[in-house]
Amino acid sequence: MDAKSVISREVAVAAGAFAPGHLGELTRIVPFEMVDEVLAETGRTQQRIRDLPSRVVVYLLLAGSLFPGIGWQQVWQRLTAGLEGLETAAPTAGALAQARRRVGTGPLHRLFDLLRGPAAGIATTGVRWQGLLVCAVDGTLVAVPDSPANQGEFVRHRCNNGGAGYPSVRSNTRRAISRP
């Protein structure tokens, strides 16, 4: 294919060390415009210029969920690892805790509301059950007595050592919500 296509679009970007892309893939998945809007809606935009702006703290909290087994300072180091050559803050554990308290949980709740939903599209088979969006399907197996009547009615499941000792009844619970 010798022909080349060029698609161009105008994108607003943040300035400085915390520009989109600098904080890794999180800024591609959760754009900084969305984070700024959520901070404004929840009243959590910083009131003065800080070393840890509210936007960056939100990305820190999101990154914290990606690295649950390490401390916040190590999460900060991973979040800013790609910023070599750019001047960034080196916050203490106390400063990170204060920043997390300042931003609070409101912006993350709002981001969740904006981003949640089924991965499958509306036309995908199996997404809806009785007109409702399926969120979870749970199956539970219950062993029943090994009587001739139960053997005729219920299945004896197979396992590695042959058949199971007792017939089983499967109970399915479907949980659905009526969100479009």
Answer whether residue 157 shows pLDDT above 80: no
pLDDT of 136 reads: 58
pLDDT of 73 reads: 92
- What is the spatial distance between Cα 26 and Cα 119, in angstroms, rounded to a whole number? 18
Answer whether residue 173 shows pLDDT above 60: no
Query: What proportion of the chain, given as a percentage, has pLDDT over 70?
Result: 68
The predicted-structure confidence for 26-56, as pLDDT tens digits, reads as follows: 887 788 889 989 999 999 988 777 788 898 8
Higher pLDDT, 33 or 161: 33
Residues in contact with 73: Cβ distance below 8 Å, sequence separation at least 6, in sequence order: 91, 92, 93, 96
Structure tokens at 152: 């005729």
In the chain, what is the straight-line distance between the N-terminal and C-terminal CA atoms, in Å?
Answer: 42
Higher pLDDT, 117 or 35: 35
- What is the spatial distance between Cα 1 and Cα 75, in angstroms, rounded to a whole number? 44
Mean confidence (pLDDT) of the chain:
77
Higher pLDDT, 97 or 122: 97
pLDDT of 11 reads: 46
Only one residue has tokens 């991973």, namely 78
pLDDT of 116 reads: 79
Higher pLDDT, 48 or 3: 48
- Would the CA dihedral through 82, 87, 93, 95 be positive or negative? negative
pLDDT of 59 reads: 92
